[in-house]
Chains A and B, each alone.
Chain A
């Protein structure tokens, strides 16, 4: 997360953040990083569910809605809210 976004929601380096949307929520560790725009959040790769703090992996937040014109997983198209966990 952008350092200014981290500051805005009260998250410091290494602190636990809860990320969620209508699908559910997951807990990850925060890393302030200025190599992205404000408002953008990156959670890299797909790790086992068990590797996450609460046992729920990042795909919890991904919609199964198909993209047009013939389907496809919309993995990078995921709006979320964030707050300290």
Chain B
């Protein structure tokens, strides 16, 4: 009997969001997972991890029933005993009610991130939070710095169509290691190399697997990308490689930028970056003399105190060289705002009370241990509901995070696929489905497709989708919202329609919807999505974040003084 091949989408937190073809052996079992050949970004290429997803889905460590901890925190599965779903949800809801009654609703903190990138299963926890007035989450662990840097100049998280890389003569991979983390980029780079003899440049503090394949590797000191960007632009202006016609038409302050960069040449940058003056000049000339230069900006170089300034500074380069005008040229950081999604139904935006406390997820350690000023006048966090993330492992300041989770007076519910380090600290653990066992929709931030998927197999054991858990808790907590009365599929369908897209069945039947706009729109040749349509060399940082006073006025190597403890709130 031929294998049943079912279309799906990778749910992981990665720009590629691959279109998948999953072998279904029977209603409970998958085989190999492959990339969809017909998808013009995935092109049949997926990473080794997802190709072998059967090993995860059918791993003996998958959680199969709700669990109550009866032993010590941190021990693992041996410290838990199985319980029924009703008993588990009753206990979680009961504890949340009691804690909210005693300490106020802000003592409960739903906590999540992007373990799935599907909107219904990832963001539905926000709806419960908003309706119940639980503490809000400032979602900072991944893209807060990089988004701020990109929005500063360009205005929206949009950029060139990633498939244009195949038409480039120079591809600059800046602060990203696609061989390891985003393998599809390398497919399109290979196309450009084979068809056009394109060159690959990598800017990264170390010789990654991507850097090993590069024609240029700018191996700079960490956190000095702003200096390199300034020196590149200095050379472009100094050597007649800046596109002055483009600058005059599409940018806010080219003359001020040129004057600002006078003192920021290659010798200056060499001292900061640890690169030689010669390699900086050579790289700048390659950019300046290659109209079809495609800048693929990653997240890695934004993960510094000066990270937003660094990402902003690099985003200025194609506005000086004019690379945006040329097919095969341009820049991409993320296309997450290409799709015009209206997530208000899923996230319960109509129920938000903005006076509710906002807690920075990256500071969960200081928040749980009360060591900073994060809690304000509000109560301590006494209860956590965690989906799609493993904070004990991934969040900064592990010592504080672990000390916080170890508190005897903290009630924690974790909804997970496996007994993670965080689940091992929980009082109640609920088994979660994988993306192959539930409905959702996805967008690629590294490409231009929406995908709508249905389950490939039945849930493993008694595992349930995030949406079911959120609705089950909502019912017990008395949370009222029409989103709690809808199925996951109805939420997908309603959200797509509210966002001006075709309905869920239509996109699902076609496997994906390509939302790419014409080149002129993707590359901002009709203007940038800023108030005056121009790229901003002088950003309005105050419109982006409250800690704007510390940002540089123009692209720069930005040195930040260490903050006082009393400053630590955002």
Q: Which of A's residues lie within 8 Å of B, judged by CB?
A: 23-24, 33, 35-37, 39-40, 42, 46, 48-50, 56-57, 59-60, 62-77
B545 near A59 with CB under 8 A, answer no
Q: How far is the CA of A75 from the CA of B146 in the complex (A)?
A: 13
* Residue B529 lies at the interface, judged by CB distance under 8 Å to chain A: no
A70 near B148 with CB under 8 A, answer yes
- Tell me the minimal C-beta distance from B105 to chain A in angstroms: 23
* Residue B213 lies at the interface, judged by CB distance under 8 Å to chain A: no
Q: Please judge, given known A-B contacts A36-B206, A60-B398, A67-B306, whether A72 and B393 are in contact too, CB under 8 Å.
A: no
- Tell me the minimal C-beta distance from A5 to chain B in angstroms: 13
A70 near B546 with CB under 8 A, answer yes
Residues 392-410 (chain B) with a chain A CB within 8 angstroms: 392-402
Q: How many contacts A-B (CB < 8 Å)?
A: 160
Contact with A along B126-156 (1 / 0, CB 8 A): 0000000000001011111110100000000
Q: Which of B's residues lie within 8 Å of A, judged by CB?
A: 138, 140-146, 148, 205-207, 211, 219-223, 274, 300-308, 360, 362-366, 372, 392-402, 421, 541, 544-548, 550-551, 560, 563, 568, 570
B360 near A75 with CB under 8 A, answer no
- Closest residue on chain A to residue B548 by CB atoms: A69
Chain A residues whose C-beta falls within 8 Å of the C-beta of B570 in the assembled complex: 66, 70-71
Chain B residues whose C-beta falls within 8 Å of the C-beta of A64 in the assembled complex: 362-366, 372, 395-397, 400
A46 near B393 with CB under 8 A, answer yes
- Closest residue on chain A to residue B558 by CB atoms: A68
A42 near B398 with CB under 8 A, answer no
- Tell me the minimal C-beta distance from B352 to chain A in angstroms: 18
Q: Which one of B223, B372, B396 has the highest number of Cβ atoms from chain A below 10 Å of its Cβ?
A: B396
B547 near A73 with CB under 8 A, answer no
A76 near B421 with CB under 8 A, answer no
A35 near B303 with CB under 8 A, answer no
Chain A residues whose C-beta falls within 8 Å of the C-beta of B546 in the assembled complex: 69-70
Chain B residues whose C-beta falls within 8 Å of the C-beta of A48 in the assembled complex: 393, 421
Known: A69-B545, A77-B223. 6 other contacts (CB 8 A): A59-B397, A64-B366, A66-B568, A67-B307, A74-B303, A77-B304
Chain A residues whose C-beta falls within 8 Å of the C-beta of B219 in the assembled complex: 35-37
A73 contacts which of B306, B396, B545 (Cβ < 8 Å)? B396
A65 near B393 with CB under 8 A, answer no
B397 contacts which of A35, A36, A63, A68 (Cβ < 8 Å)? A63
A23 near B399 with CB under 8 A, answer yes
- Tell me the minimal C-beta distance from A24 to chain B in angstroms: 5
B394 near A68 with CB under 8 A, answer no
A72 contacts which of B148, B274, B401 (Cβ < 8 Å)? B148
B205 near A62 with CB under 8 A, answer no
- Closest residue on chain B to residue A47 by CB atoms: B393
Q: Please judge, given known A-B contacts A64-B363, A66-B360, A74-B304, whether A56 and B398 are in contact too, CB under 8 Å.
A: yes
A66 near B206 with CB under 8 A, answer no
B144 near A24 with CB under 8 A, answer no
Chain B residues whose C-beta falls within 8 Å of the C-beta of A56 in the assembled complex: 398-399
Q: How far is the CA of A41 from the CA of B244 in the complex (A)?
A: 41
B221 near A37 with CB under 8 A, answer yes
Q: How far is the CA of A23 from the CA of B395 in the complex (A)?
A: 14
- Tell me the minimal C-beta distance from B143 to chain A in angstroms: 8
- Closest residue on chain B to residue A34 by CB atoms: B207
B396 near A75 with CB under 8 A, answer yes
B303 contacts which of A57, A59, A65, A73 (Cβ < 8 Å)? A73
Can you list 16 pairs linking A and B with CB atoms under 8 Å apart?
Answer: A33-B206, A35-B211, A37-B205, A37-B219, A56-B399, A60-B398, A60-B399, A66-B547, A69-B551, A70-B544, A70-B546, A72-B140, A72-B145, A73-B141, A73-B142, A76-B223
A67 contacts which of B145, B220, B300 (Cβ < 8 Å)? B145
Chain A residues whose C-beta falls within 8 Å of the C-beta of B400 in the assembled complex: 64
Chain A residues whose C-beta falls within 8 Å of the C-beta of B563 in the assembled complex: 65
Q: Please judge, given known A-B contacts A37-B205, A48-B421, A67-B304, whether A76 and B222 are in contact too, CB under 8 Å.
A: yes
Chain A residues whose C-beta falls within 8 Å of the C-beta of B395 in the assembled complex: 59, 64, 73
Q: Please judge, given known A-B contacts A67-B307, A76-B304, A77-B307, whether A62 and B140 are in contact too, CB under 8 Å.
A: no
